[in-house]
Structure 1
Amino acid sequence: MPPSRPTVLLTGATGVIGASLLPALAARYEVIALVHRRRPESATTCVQADLTAECLGLSDRLHRELAAGIDAIVHCAALTDFAPGDLTAFEKVNVQGTRRILELAEAAHVPVVLLSSVSAALDLPGDDLPAHCMRAYGRSKRQAEELVAHSSRPVAIVRTGLLFAARNAPTLPRHQFPHALFDALLQGRTGALPVLPDHWCDIIPMETLVEYVTALTEAQLCGDTTAPGLHWATAGPARLTAADLERACSDFLKETGRPVTGSLLADHATSRTRSHGMGRLAQLGFQPPEQPCLPSHLDRLLPTQLTRSTVLEALRHNVRRCTPWAS
């Protein structure tokens, strides 16, 4: 008989990252998907649980059985809605949910790969609701990371920036930035984006993150002592500017017979601070040119760092999948 494959517990398997990560992990390992309501289509084994409940909402017996049957945990589940209505929901899901996953890892004596966000390292200005929501989200991710210090298990934290949809994704996550931003820009309204051309944001292809997390999971399973700790999965120097996004959207509009007569970016005189909507989220998501690029550790486990040409190609591909006028 062939040797049995390691078993990885994956949380958030129906989310934006988890849905792309699940088939990559399933190609190498047995995967148990920890789900709340929806069952991922490609999962063979699912355990229904609740991150907001003690013991994940499982009985003591089921919790012990789950712990006894896994070799590693990849924790992707998180609340990412920037308008949750109740800001305490970030703490309930992202902080206490992570605490319960780390408790499961302690009981199972297994390593963990924890998906975090670059938002954990940011402190955004502003007193409006979008700024409060994004700060609450970032604070919850930072507090989740801080829990790792109290765990005896090897934990690898992956801070990732924004993500392009995977090329093979059946649909785009249109409710999430940056795809909601692409939809807004493709309305073709001049001056629609109140961000200056040289301001930047960090976006990487989903495939790059999946490849990195898969390699990191393997390193954790193999007991690689360099795997635990903080990993930045970002574009780094390959970051994109607002001008890059504007150009990709303008080119696509021209190709589809909807050319724009002016710039999709607001000029300096009208790029005032917005208080709500996509314009405000964009202003919070873009950084000024004097802000240094984010660290990037992708070449720790991947052959090379990301290049601007690779990121620009992912940008063009994602923009061309957005056709808001057809919706």
Structure 2
Amino acid sequence: MSRSPIVLLTGASGVLGSALLPELVGCHVIALTHRTPVPGADEQLHGDLTAPRLGLNQAAYKQLAARVDAVVHCAAITGFSSGQEATHALNQAGTAQMARLVADADAVMYHVSTAFVARTDLTRAHQGHGSGEATARPEDYLDSKRAGEEAVRASGVPAVIIRPSVVIGDAATGAISAFQGMHGIIHGLLRGLLPLVPVPAHSPIDFVPQDVVASTIAALVREGRREGEVWITAGNNALTTERALQVIGDTADELGMDAARPRMVGPDIVDRLIRPVFIANLHPRTRRRFDDMLAMTALFADGRLFPTSLGQVPGAPAELNTSELEAALRMSVAYMARAKGMTRTPAPASTASESVQVPA
């Protein structure tokens, strides 16, 4: 009888890693941990992606390399406010370290990047706009993820580069291990803190439920895919900004919440009129919140549709249709609202904690 493949999983305590772990049925999973223990893994190994040999002594590193068949690399700094040095240290240098282990192990690498590497031209910095008082710098994150992909390609190891779009909660329940990215915008909308959204009504808002991403990655591992790029996105079926805001507003109404519907405006109007006339005189914390939102939503304003590989991976979920995306968004909105005590309906027993992180 052939043995179970041994998979080293990084980022197992994160949003994608925690969703992926139970999907790796039939695999012996070693979770590489740094601070947080990971329930459900077959083994746990304490290490540091930014240290030589992952922080292991030479004997332990050689033993690990002799055992591993595949590496699923989910670990990353996904926050836009972590700083250029820390972001590149993990997302670029850490990825290069994992590629080196894959080479030493004669294994295959499944590297989780982000679909937004295709939208680096949309950042405010790239378009020559000032960042104002924003702490969010999406250009640092995107540059680091592009550099991470290049590190994988330059290593020459067998590798699949996986590019999910914005990750929301489980399609059926909305549950997620940490609120991130789009949840922050939803929270602001539900609390009435965002009277306007600087994204044109027609712009696509591409998101995918975490279980779809996890199931697709697990299917790639089971298939033994060894090369190529896989886009886990909504593709042509991505909701428009107008429709996504409508779904969020309708869900708030169903939950008995009084959430004002925001106005959609183009970023040019924000820079020419709204920010200098209306935002400049607000409290510094409010200005900073607005500028952070402006930096993040720039990645969606007039964005091109992403390609998608859903429906093309054997054993993985099919392409999501518009109705399925709307239903998943409703579940994520409802889950977050209940978890944060914004409705009278109590949250499930296991709720997510707030995070300042963004799309994977």
SS at match of 2:197: coil
State the partner residue of 2:294: 280
Matches within 5 A, 1:38-57: 38-57=36-55
Percent identity, please. Answer: 29
CA drift of 1:157 comes to 0.2
Q: Deviations over 1:196-217 (max 9, x none)?
A: 3222221011111111111111
SS at match of 2:178: coil
**Would you say 1:36 and 2:34 are equivalent positions?**
yes
Name the CA distance, whole Å, in 2 between partners of 1:263 and 1:270.
21
The answer to whether the Cα contact below 8 Å between 1:120 and 1:140 also exists between their aligned partners in 2 is: no
State the partner residue of 1:326: 342
Which amino acid letter does the alignment assign opposite residue 329 of structure 2?
L
| Root-mean-square deviation (Å) | 2.4
Matches within 5 A, 1:114-153: 114-123=111-120, 124-126=123-125, 127-128=130-131, 130=134, 133-153=137-157
State the partner residue of 2:347: none
Name the CA distance, whole Å, in 2 between partners of 1:184 and 1:88.
29
C-alpha distance 169-55 of structure 1, shift in aligned 2 (>3 A): farther
CA drift of 1:141 comes to 0.7
C-alpha distance 41-61 of structure 1, shift in aligned 2 (>3 A): same
State the partner residue of 1:265: 263
Structure 1 alignment gaps of length 5 or more: none
Which amino acid letter does the alignment assign opposite residue 163 of structure 2?
R
Name the CA distance, whole Å, in 1 between partners of 2:267 and 2:211.
39
The answer to whether the Cα contact below 8 Å between 2:124 and 2:295 also exists between their aligned partners in 1 is: no
CA drift of 1:131 comes to 8.6
**Would you say 1:300 and 2:312 are equivalent positions?**
yes
CA drift of 1:264 comes to 2.0
Name the CA distance, whole Å, in 2 between partners of 1:263 and 1:326.
17
Matches within 5 A, 1:1-327: 3-25=2-24, 27-84=25-82, 86-123=83-120, 124-126=123-125, 127-128=130-131, 130=134, 133-166=137-170, 167=172, 171=176, 173-174=178-179, 176-188=180-192, 191-220=195-224, 224=225, 227-260=226-259, 263-266=261-264, 272-273=270-271, 276-277=288-289, 279-288=293-302, 291-301=303-313, 302=316, 304-323=318-337, 324=340, 326=342
The answer to whether the Cα contact below 8 Å between 1:190 and 1:266 also exists between their aligned partners in 2 is: no
CA drift of 1:194 comes to 3.2
TM-score, normalisation: structure 1: 0.88
Name the CA distance, whole Å, in 2 between partners of 1:315 and 1:42.
28
Higher relative contact order (CA 8 A, sep 6+): 2
CA drift of 1:266 comes to 4.1
Name the CA distance, whole Å, in 2 between partners of 1:38 and 1:256.
34
Deviates more, 1:140-149 or 1:52-61: 140-149
Q: Deviations over 1:271-317 (max 9, x none)?
A: 514674253144223231xx431111122204632211111111111
Name the CA distance, whole Å, in 1 between partners of 2:176 and 2:218.
23
Name the CA distance, whole Å, in 2 between partners of 1:134 and 1:190.
20
Which amino acid letter does the alignment assign opposite residue 299 of structure 1?
G
The answer to whether the Cα contact below 8 Å between 1:299 and 1:305 also exists between their aligned partners in 2 is: yes
CA drift of 1:253 comes to 2.4
Figure out how many residues of one structure are paired with residues of the other and give that number. 315
C-alpha distance 172-318 of structure 1, shift in aligned 2 (>3 A): farther
CA drift of 1:269 comes to 10
SS at match of 1:74: strand
CA drift of 1:58 comes to 0.6
SS at match of 2:311: helix
Which amino acid letter does the alignment assign opposite residue 116 of structure 2?
S
